[in-house]
Structure 1
């Protein structure tokens, strides 16, 4: 179901680019601007759509997306450039929340190692979608017509929404088909109870004296002011932010690598062999996802992203299509594991009632990193050549990971110091 629902959107970006360049006669810069507007719409809309799933349930949340996707992509081939820009932004804003729904559903249908395997298989299916979708878009645009292709996407996207509406996969443990597990709230509450029970009695007495001295009223005022924010974003923690960093870093490295691959092949006059490199790159991710899904324990997504960033750098030494394809295998094998590990970790950290919104923010972080990686790599390539694109994005991705690991290390040390001090 996830594969079917993702296919129209995986083809949409390529088809929109080709429509703007070939049908409307626009330059690549203008075409990229329109696709960027759609990407921004998706990034803004994903958390909101995920929150609607949490608040109103899957079926009520899907209805606006089904209607808007059908109308927007039916109209898009028949309007000019000026009207197309706000139209694609609206389409992105109301984009079907496939990512949030599928990952949230898998989170409540599986536990433990089964959850890791499920997320890995979902990442693998996503790789297959992004092998099929853009290629199909290119064939339709060149052999038939971009207008026909966008009309087909409108029907397919809304049809996918109706399929989700009909199947109604569980998005909470109260729904049929879900596995009841302790959520992050219960686990954190249990940890707090254990800490309080083991605390020395004099600490509790000191706290009582402080409260009676006047801190109680101060805390009450602070609590009132922060209650609204906490009820809305109380699920956000340092661990959740680390997952979002991993997602945005993965998007940055992947989009930068994609631009580098296209630029390097174009420099050698081998643009027609792009499919060879993409096949090796995506297929290695599929294999990596299978391996990660079979592991007995999880690995930090930050660590996996660091390895992927470092292994992206050797791609700068490619001299032709085949060396580039072979060098892409090493970083490609870590793509699906990074996304699988991040999804698994987010599911463990976020309470069930907030997972739809959290997955939406996760998708926005991934989209934001993707949107940032392409122009940064493009500027590096313009200044220093195609090979430097892989070097730049690899170093930047590694720097993000090292900074995140350093901050995590500091937090652990401070937490340990507080525990020792309390004893």
Structure 2
């Protein structure tokens, strides 16, 4: 298994751009919590903290597809450098506004600027992998792309496990500005380092005859809808687990349970990425969604902490494969000139789903109890599966070994 991942880094420049992307996207799991810790400390208001954090996340969600489209047209280097400069300004403004007691609208404006300018290095590293690995290798190249996307999914899980720990330790143990300052250094540093690696940068596709959006490609809307529900799974699951652990009288177990989920996801991603799959990517994705729906059905059956932990681990095994299969499908489905935009649309759909899922789980918990809330992620998974099945004809791609696969057609 390990040798397949080791082979990825024999590609010149791969280790450097993957490391830069990891540093740049580690703050993805830090920024929202860092904003909450900063604003709540200086203002004493969790309402204000939540409002500023929401403005930051909304700014990112609104800008991400536009940024992705701009990257496809003008290249990663110019866009990354511009975003790094704006993000630097946004986070400095946020820290200054918080430190000097600026009113809430000013804090929200600074947070929104920081959010809309946050470079999506996680998206760009995937398009960079696709570029360096899909160079006429046919089926072998497709398998390497899947392994690369699996590796990046595992890196995402590492970031989401370690990021909150880092930002909390800095903001509470060093200085209330230290968490956001770390986000600034890592995001700007990682984005700049990635931008300077020109040899592995995908070519810009800005010719006048190559207009259009990823959303007009058949199947992209299906993926976006399905990933909206997939994001709702995450949002609903996080809140439902908090409610359930409270019902069990073990609220402190929430963090370990979510860590169990992440560990399961990493193992599932390692296994999925190391295998050679014969099925076309559209069928693989649908089967992964079906497996996730079945696994999530175990959660409402948990009668105690140990059974809930076991169910969380099984669910985790399906999380990374769903994400990997979805990105591989987009890489095959979309022309390369809109690939960054397509992955950004998927990311935005998931982020929106997380927010909606958390809200829905809160309503269900209040009205029907924590047990019913644990069933909500399975309902969302069935909705994601249903969207994919209903749109299956638009998702169909050939599992071809020809160099001119659909995603490479311009």
TM tier relative to shorter chain? 0.7 to 0.9
Quote how far apart the aligned CAs of 1:237 are.
Answer: 2.8
Quote how far apart the aligned CAs of 1:411 are.
Answer: 9.7
Q: Is the 8 A contact 2:75 2:202 kept in 1?
A: no
1:356–1:269 distance in 2 versus 1, CA, 3 Å: same
Quote how far apart the aligned CAs of 1:351 are.
Answer: 1.0
Paired with 1:129 and 1:105, the residues of 2 have a C-alpha distance of 19
The residue number in structure 2 matching 1:178 is: none
Paired with 2:87 and 2:38, the residues of 1 have a C-alpha distance of 18
Quote how far apart the aligned CAs of 1:173 are.
Answer: 6.4
The residue number in structure 1 matching 2:138 is: none
The structure 2 residue matched to 1:145, chosen from 167, 175, 187, is 175
**Partner of 2:392: helix, strand, or coil?**
helix
Question: Which runs of no fewer than 5 residues in structure 1 stay unpaired?
Answer: 176-226, 413-423
Is 1:303 the equivalent of 2:281?
A: no
Q: How do residues 262-301 of structure 1 correspond to structure 2 at under 5 angstroms? A: 262-297=242-277, 298=281, 299-301=283-285
Quote how far apart the aligned CAs of 1:342 are.
Answer: 0.7
Is 1:16 the equivalent of 2:35?
A: yes
The structure 1 residue matched to 2:319, chosen from 324, 335, 358, is 335
The residue number in structure 2 matching 1:244 is: 224
The structure 2 residue matched to 1:164, chosen from 194, 216, 219, is 194
- Alignment root-mean-square deviation, CA: 2.5
1:32–1:324 distance in 2 versus 1, CA, 3 Å: farther
Q: Is the 8 A contact 1:235 1:354 kept in 2?
A: no
Is 1:345 the equivalent of 2:329?
A: yes
Q: Is the 8 A contact 1:289 1:333 kept in 2?
A: yes
Residue by residue over 1:75-96, the C-alpha shift from the partner in whole angstroms, topping out at 9 and shown as x without a partner, is 2133233311121111111111
The structure 2 residue matched to 1:408, chosen from 392, 407, 410, is 392
Paired with 2:144 and 2:226, the residues of 1 have a C-alpha distance of 22
Is 1:322 the equivalent of 2:306?
A: yes
Q: Is the 8 A contact 2:226 2:383 kept in 1?
A: no
1:33–1:309 distance in 2 versus 1, CA, 3 Å: farther
Relative to the length of structure 1, the TM-score reads: 0.78
Is 1:59 the equivalent of 2:77?
A: yes
The residue number in structure 2 matching 1:184 is: none
The residue number in structure 1 matching 2:61 is: 43
1:372–1:279 distance in 2 versus 1, CA, 3 Å: same
1:236–1:158 distance in 2 versus 1, CA, 3 Å: same
Quote how far apart the aligned CAs of 1:400 are.
Answer: 3.4
Question: Which runs of no fewer than 5 residues in structure 2 stay unpaired?
Answer: 1-18, 134-140, 397-410
The number of equivalent residue pairs is 359
1:129–1:250 distance in 2 versus 1, CA, 3 Å: same
Relative to the length of structure 2, the TM-score reads: 0.81
Q: Is the 8 A contact 2:298 2:311 kept in 1?
A: yes
Q: Which has the larger radius of gyration?
A: 1
Paired with 1:235 and 1:77, the residues of 2 have a C-alpha distance of 37
Quote how far apart the aligned CAs of 1:307 are.
Answer: 2.4
